[in-house]
């Protein structure tokens, strides 16, 4: 069966909203996923407590994941109940920016009396920021994206959205990275400037964003029961392939989370690039973006299913290659980083986008918001608990106290490669079900088109 169908055209306002608000949301998440972790690692390294850097980073990631998941479950249910997305995105972004600014109050060094307090504040502020961000982005924006797309254009849209974290990283590193220094007494200006960005985006969303006219409101008066709709046994049984798709994303996410929070310090300190890490990392990021863009075109042209297994194979191979750099001459590190890094990151982004599009295809109409909480459990909660715990175990057994900065070990990429291998089993079944899914969705489109035509014909007869 031919997998691709004629793509439904999207208006410029939808593309503008998807790209701009998606990019701003990813800028904020880049700060949360990478800079907040780096921030904590730098504070405890400056204070002579490298072991605490692993502990606090792990606690931040875990509690942030729990906050994000719980928030998205309830906020997603509320989105369906009210039939609204825009209000959560616009005002949520404004609150998001304000919560990022909280980190401006934290200094870059702690003494023996304030180590615990600073750790508590880092975790607390991260959870507060995550609450605002998950309401605005994970619950509302992702539900809005599902509303305004269909199975003929989700591959393209989600591929573009998956590239946005890459551009967000470049913007933060190159455009704003000079404001952040591990040796500063405080990095308050960095967090204030970053907080302004989502605030401006939220104000812009009030005027530019528009909810879909096809939203099906949840009319069930039992809000609490409907909020946990996606966790019911019967719902899981009726939509089993949706959960198989999410299980694949979960394993892929665990693999990524073993190294993602440590990536900056890995490139800067472990690979000994120092302050020169920005350009190599930017090359990898931009190269991965180009790779992902090409994949997005191929997804629509040839069908996503043909790329599932090859992309996962590349992820396994490239994470293994990064680990093996430990045994290579240092002169080879940079060239290997460029090649392996581009294909590793590009494949992760591409496969994540493909799985996200498939997940959206599986969602029953009218339950888009309620399934965002389920997605968060698989894509955020479990990966951000299990992945960092794996790294914590590896890191505490391999702390380098002689290094000048915080140096994550190469072994975290070996762990990432091993975990990624486990994704082959559920991914096989996602690929196997692709033809059936596309046929079902095609029939739904045809039935909806026929119903619309019949309604218009009846309206014309009535007017006559």
Residue 74: inside a domain, yes or no?
yes
Convert the pLDDT of each residue in 413-442 to its tens digit: 999 999 999 999 999 999 998 878 767 766
Top-confidence residue, 166 or 375: 375
Top-confidence residue, 358 or 94: 94
Residue 7: inside a domain, yes or no?
no
Residue 462: inside a domain, yes or no?
no
The whole-angstrom separation of Cα 127 and Cα 425 is: 34
Convert the pLDDT of each residue in 305-336 to its tens digit: 899 999 999 999 999 999 999 999 999 999 99
Residue 218: inside a domain, yes or no?
no
Q: What is the mean pLDDT of residues 195-224?
A: 86
Convert the pLDDT of each residue in 233-283 to its tens digit: 888 998 899 999 999 999 999 999 998 878 888 888 889 888 788 788 888
Convert the pLDDT of each residue in 394-415 to its tens digit: 887 766 655 556 788 999 999 9
Provide the residue range defining the domain that includes 442: 12-210+223-457
Convert the pLDDT of each residue in 44-95 to its tens digit: 888 878 778 888 888 988 898 899 889 988 888 888 888 899 999 999 999 9
Top-confidence residue, 93 or 41: 93
The pLDDT score that the predictor gives to residue 253 is 93
Tell me what the pLDDT averaged over the chain comes to.
85
Report whether pLDDT(124) > 60: yes
Three-state helix/strand/coil letters over the chain? CCCCCCCCCCCHHHHHHHHHHHHHHHHHHHHHHHHHHHHHHHHHHHCCCHHHHHHHHHHHHHHHHHHHHHHHHHHHHHHHHHCCCHHHHHHHHHHHHHHHHHHHHCECCCCCCCHHHHHHHHHHHHHHHHHHHHHHHHHHHHHHHHHHCCCCCHHHHHHHHHHHHHHHHHHHHHHHHHHCCCCCCECHHHHHHHHHHHHHHHHHHHHHCCCCCCCCCCCCCCHHHHHCHHHCHHHHHHCHHHHHHHHHHHHHHHHHHCCHHHHHHHHHHHCCCHHHHHHHHHHHHHHHHHHHHHHHHHHHHHCHHHHHHHHHHHHHHHHHHHHHHHHCCHHHHHHHHHHHHHHHHHHHHHHHHHHHHHHHHHCCCCCCCHHHHHHHHHHHHHHHHHHHHHHHHHHHCCCCCCCCCCCCCCHHHHHHHHHHHCCHHHHHHHHHCHHHHHHHHHHHHHHHHHHHHHHHHHHHHHHC
The residues, ordered by sequence, that sit 6+ positions from 421 with a Cβ below 8 Å of its Cβ are 316
Query: Is the pTM higher than 0.75?
Result: no
Residue 17: inside a domain, yes or no?
yes
Residue 56: inside a domain, yes or no?
yes
The pLDDT score that the predictor gives to residue 448 is 55
Residue 438: inside a domain, yes or no?
yes
Residue 441: inside a domain, yes or no?
yes
Number of domains in the chain: 1
CA angle, 34 then 40 then 42, to 5°: 95
CATH of the domain at 143: 1.20.1250.20
Closest Cα partner for 136 from 39, 222, 22, 221?
22
In terms of average pLDDT, the best of 93-102, 106-115, 293-302 is 93-102
Residue 245 · residue 382 · CB < 8 Å: no
């Amino acid at each position: 069966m031919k997998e691709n169908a004629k793509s439904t055209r999207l208006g410029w306002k939808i593309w503008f909203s998807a790209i701009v608000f998606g990019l701003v949301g990813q800028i904020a998440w880049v700060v949360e996923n990478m800079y907040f972790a780096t921030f904590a690692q730098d504070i405890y390294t400056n204070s002579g407590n490298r072991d605490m850097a692993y502990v606090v980073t792990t606690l931040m990631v875990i509690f942030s994941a729990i906050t994000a998941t719980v928030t998205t479950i309830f906020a997603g249910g509320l989105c369906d109940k009210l039939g609204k997305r825009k209000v959560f995105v616009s005002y949520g972004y404004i609150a998001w920016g304000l919560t990022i600014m909280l980190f401006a109050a934290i200094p870059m060094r702690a003494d023996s009396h304030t180590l615990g307090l600073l750790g508590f504040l880092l975790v607390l502020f991260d959870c507060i920021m995550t609450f605002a961000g998950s309401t605005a982005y994970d619950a509302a924006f992702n539900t809005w994206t599902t509303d305004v797309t269909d199975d003929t254009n989700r591959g393209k849209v989600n591929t573009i959205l998956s590239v946005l974290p890459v551009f967000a990283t470049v913007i933060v590193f190159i455009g704003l990275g000079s404001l952040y220094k591990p040796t500063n007494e405080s990095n308050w200006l960095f967090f204030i400037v970053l907080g302004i960005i989502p605030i401006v985006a939220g104000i812009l969303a009030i005027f530019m964003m528009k909810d879909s006219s096809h939203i099906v409101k949840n009319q069930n008066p039992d809000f609490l029961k409907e909020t946990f709709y996606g966790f019911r046994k019967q719902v899981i049984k009726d939509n089993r392939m949706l959960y198989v798709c999410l299980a694949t994303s979960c394993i892929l996410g665990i693999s990524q989370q073993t190294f993602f929070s440590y990536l900056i310090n890995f490139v800067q300190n472990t690979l000994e690039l120092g302050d020169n890490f920005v350009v190599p990392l930017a090359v990898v990021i931009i190269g991965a973006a180009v790779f992902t863009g090409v994949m997005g075109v191929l997804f629509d042209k040839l069908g996503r299913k043909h790329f599932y297994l090859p992309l996962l194979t590349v992820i396994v191979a490239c994470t293994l290659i990064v680990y093996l750099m430990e045994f290579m001459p240092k002169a080879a590190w940079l060239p290997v980083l460029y090649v392996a890094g581009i294909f590793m990151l590009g494949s992760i982004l591409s496969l994540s986008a493909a799985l996200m599009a498939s997940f959206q295809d599986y969602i029953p109409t009218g339950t888009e918001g309620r399934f965002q909480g389920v997605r968060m459990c698989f894509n955020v909660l479990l990966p951000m608990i299990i992945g960092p715990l794996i790294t914590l175990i590896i890191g505490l057994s391999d702390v380098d106290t002689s290094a000048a900065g915080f140096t994550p070990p190469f072994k975290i990429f070996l762990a990432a490669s091993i975990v990624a291998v486990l994704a082959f089993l559920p991914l096989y079944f996602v690929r196997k079900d692709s033809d059936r899914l596309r046929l079902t969705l095609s029939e739904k489109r045809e039935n909806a088109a026929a119903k619309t035509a019949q309604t218009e014909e009846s309206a014309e007869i009535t007017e006559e």
